[in-house]
Amino acid sequence: MTRNAKIKEYAIPEGADSGPYGVTAGTDGNVWFTEQKGNRIGRIGKTGEMKFFDIPTPEAGAMGIASDRNGNVWFTENKANRIGKLSTDGSFEEYELPTPDSGPFGIAAGKDGAIWFTQINANRIGRFDPSHDGWITGYPLPEPGAFPSFIASGSDGALWFCENQGSKIGRISTEGDIREYPLPQPDSGPVGITAGPDGNLWFVEIGGNRIGRITVSGEIREYELPRPGAKPHAICSGQNELWFTEWGANRIGRIALDGEIDEFDIPSPEAEPHGIAVSASGDVWFAEEIGRIGRLIVR
């Protein structure tokens, strides 16, 4: 499976004060990212050119980010208790959540046209309906303290999410019905999740040091990472493989659908890689919290 790869890094002018975190591939061919410290949404093109958009609310704490089918970029404001929208014309809209201090974190565009997000402090899944004047609905999780993190739209039309403290994978239908699937080992700490090219959901276990796969019927399989302490954080889908960040090992990982794993060292030490996305060109882009955006090119 191993192929030649190289990593290029692009410095954000403000460096570590920017704190890039979430990453999404836009429909415009660019890659978009949140700056949890810089309070901006950034855009980077395929040659590394950047543009920045200041979030209207100060110290919003932008974390998760997702693109919708219309080219808009949606993001969570963890500290400001809002979700935000950056339109294709560069304008912002922000929406206050009805539950105070709910801690919005992960976000995804659903196949139903709504925007779905996790609320780590409120222990619930939220749904924002752009077609009905921004109607927001919240769905409490069955067990307290689950700490729902990232969320993704599945091939079955439902939304799938990780329960970081509950060590479960959750599924919520577009009608709000919730089902949970416990992981085999306690304290696995699942964080990132994505829909794979095989129709399954793939996730990372920051505590368990594993990559997991769950079918839409709930069957789970796990793959141990080669080295201990990798702390996988976020995961995204490629054409025939999955890519993930290793926060603890300072690497980018790749797993084939049969479970074979490759790893690539990030040139900058202690880069703190978090969000990750694959662009339309097939390159892998990731956020380095030290103040860079990385690009892994595989040929």
pLDDT at 2 over 60: no
Of residues 38 and 134, more confidently modeled:
38
3-class secondary structure per residue, the chain: CCCCEEEEEEECCCHHHCCEEEEEECCCCCEEEEECCCCEEEEECCCCCEEEEECCCCCCCEEEEEECCCCCEEEEECCCCEEEEECCCCCEEEEECCCCCCCEEEEEECCCCCEEEEECCCCEEEEEEHHHCCEEEEEECCCCCCCEEEEEECCCCCEEEEECCCCEEEEECCCCCEEEEECCCCCCCEEEEEECCCCCEEEEECCCCEEEEECCCCCEEEEECCCCCCCEEEEEECCCEEEEEECCCCEEEEEECCCCEEEEECCCCCCCEEEEEECCCCCEEEEECCCEEEEEEEC
Give residue-wise pLDDT tens across range 195-233: 999 999 999 999 999 999 999 999 999 999 999 999 999
Is residue 132 over pLDDT 90?
Answer: no
Catalytic residues: 274
Which tens digit of pLDDT belongs to each residue from 64-93?
999 999 999 999 999 999 999 999 899 999
CATH T-level fold of 61-277: Methylamine Dehydrogenase; Chain H (2.130.10)
Q: What is the pTM of this model?
A: 0.96
pLDDT one-digit tens code per residue, 164-185? 999 999 999 999 999 999 999 9
